[in-house]
Amino acid sequence: MENKWLSEAFRGEVPDFHGRVGWQCPSNIALVKYWGKKGKQIPQNPSISFTLSECCTETFVEFEKADRFGFNFFFEGKEKPAFGAKIEKFLMDNQAFFPFINQLNLKVESRNSFPHSSGIASSASSMSAFVMCLMEIESLLTGPSTGSGTLTKASYFSRLASGSAARSVFPKMALWGATEGYQGSSDEYAVSLADDIHPVFKTYHDSILIVSGETKSVSSRAGHALMEGNPYAPARYAQANENIKNLLTALKSGDLDTFINITESEALQLHALMMCSNPSFILMKPNTLNLINEIRTFRNETKIPLCFTLDAGPNVHLLYPEQEADKVEYYIKTVLADYCDRERWIADRVGDGPKKLLR
Ligand code: PMV
């Protein structure tokens, strides 16, 4: 695949042109977690995620012909070179795929739909939104590419920019990482699961309970690296592969009990791995545990099939189907919000993937 996209790259003279393109891309929340990588952003195990709807990045790229590569990055209206450094590095490291950038001046403007200091990671949404813009600029040079391969290519490049971003370009649900359980799956890009899931999962809500809006004390890059010396890593990768197989079956049949069991176990394993790395670290806060206990008690008492997952941080993602939304939202407002930072939570749900912006 790499060769296909390398050979497709536009290597000609960029015409005297300029313009502006824009894309909105969502964040995603993993159910089976990607934690540990090798080589060039190759996951140690496959992962599965819900694509979100409300937590998005909007990116516009203004481009014009130039003698050499030029790059400016604006975040929420202000020039922020440090925020753009990851994109610039991605472009420099992967010039072979985008040689035309050396004849372009790029002005990137990005903003997130989710509030500042909400502890929501933006690299998946921001990197995939930038990649969609870059591919659109390329298509202005080469002629539009068509067909399903476009999103696969977007996923491949998003992965090079930020691993989990590979999953953000597909609607509903995505699988990233090669597994025998799914034909066509790959370590190099994600694939859509939208046609292989029970309709109930397309209605899922993700209410993000903000326990703390502080930025993470340990970056995910450092966390992945610590898996290299983690004595439990081989067992973890075996377990993740098993969980992928069983979750794929449960997603197809609509088996909510298995879904809940795997999703919660994966969230706790992710944090357990952090706690047994060397050096170890803890990203949960006391209210993360209080919420987990509340949610489990509520599920046992009411039989409502809600469950939690965690990202690499203290916030709790509460997952439940649309048919339970009224009851669960009442429960959030009356009970769970008390454990949140200033009673903050974000009502998100499964979404439809990237959107082209017209302005
Ligand atoms: O894409 P990265 O390198 O930020 O890693 C993401 C890791 C987790 O968010 C913890 C899990 C996942 O699969 O999204």
pLDDT, position 78: 94
Average confidence (pLDDT) over 113-133: 86
Residues 165 and 233 in one domain: no
Query: Can you give the CATH number for the domain in which 295 is found?
Result: 3.30.70.890
Alpha-carbon gap, residue 291 to 306, rounded angstroms: 13
Answer whether residue 149 shows pLDDT above 90. Answer: no
Average confidence (pLDDT) over 269-283: 96
Answer whether residue 6 shows pLDDT above 80. Answer: yes
pLDDT, position 121: 73
Residue 354 lies in a domain: no
Cα angle: 253, vertex 325, 311; to 5 degrees: 75
Residue 83 lies in a domain: yes
Residues 14 and 108 in one domain: yes
Q: How many CB atoms within 10 Å of residue 64?
A: 16
Q: Which range (29-38, 87-96, 111-120) has the least confidence? A: 111-120
The CB of 311 under 6 Å from ligand 1? The reply is: yes
Please return the burial class of 147, using the count of CB atoms within 10 Å of its CB with bins 0-12, 13-18 and 19+. exposed
Ligand 1 atom 10: the closest Cα is on which residue? 312
**Cα of 211 from ligand 1 centre, angstroms:** 19
Residues 245 and 273 in one domain: yes
Residues 171 and 220 in one domain: no
Contact 119, 313 (CB under 8 A): yes
The CB of 269 under 6 Å from ligand 1? The reply is: no
Average confidence (pLDDT) over 196-206: 98
Alpha-carbon gap, residue 137 to 350, rounded angstroms: 28
Residues 233, 238, 239, 244: is their CA dihedral positive or negative? positive
Its domain, for residue 101, covers 2-196
If pLDDT is split at 50, 70 and 90, which confidence band does 143 have?
confident
pLDDT, position 119: 67
Residues 235-262: pLDDT tens digits?
Answer: 999 999 999 999 999 999 999 999 999 9
Q: Which range (8-12, 257-261, 295-299) has the least confidence? A: 8-12
The CB of 223 under 6 Å from ligand 1? The reply is: no
pLDDT, position 8: 86
Q: What is the mean pLDDT of the chain?
A: 95
Q: Which range (15-19, 111-115, 127-131, 146-150) has the least confidence? A: 146-150
pLDDT, position 146: 63
**Cα of 219 from ligand 1 centre, angstroms:** 10
Q: Which secondary structure element, helix H or strand E, spans residue 86, and what is its range? A: helix 81-93
Residues 169 and 219 in one domain: no
**Cα of 17 from ligand 1 centre, angstroms:** 37
Average confidence (pLDDT) over 183-191: 98
Residues 235 and 256 in one domain: yes
pLDDT, position 44: 98
pLDDT, position 202: 98
Alpha-carbon gap, residue 330 to 324, rounded angstroms: 10
- Predicted TM-score (pTM) of the model is 0.96
Alpha carbon distances (Å) from 9 to 4, 94, 143, 246, 273: 9, 11, 12, 39, 40
Amino acid 202 reads K
Residues 226 and 326 in one domain: yes
Domain tally, the chain: 2
If pLDDT is split at 50, 70 and 90, which confidence band does 303 have?
very high
**Radius of gyration of the chain, Cα coordinates, nearest whole angstrom:** 20
Most ligand 1 atoms within 8 A of CB, residue of 25, 29, 35 to mutate:
35
**Cα of 164 from ligand 1 centre, angstroms:** 5
Answer whether residue 95 shows pLDDT above 60. Answer: yes
Most ligand 1 atoms within 8 A of CB, residue of 127, 131, 220, 268 to mutate:
220
Contact 125, 168 (CB under 8 A): yes
Most ligand 1 atoms within 8 A of CB, residue of 25, 32, 34, 120 to mutate:
34
Contact 31, 309 (CB under 8 A): yes
The CB of 162 under 6 Å from ligand 1? The reply is: yes
Residues 305-345: pLDDT tens digits?
Answer: 999 999 999 999 999 999 999 999 999 999 999 999 999 99
The CB of 271 under 6 Å from ligand 1? The reply is: no
The owner of tokens 């429960």 is: 331
Average confidence (pLDDT) over 192-216: 95
Omega of the bond leading into 279 within 30 degrees of 0 (cis): yes
Q: Would you give the distance in Å from CA 253 to the centre of its chain? A: 25
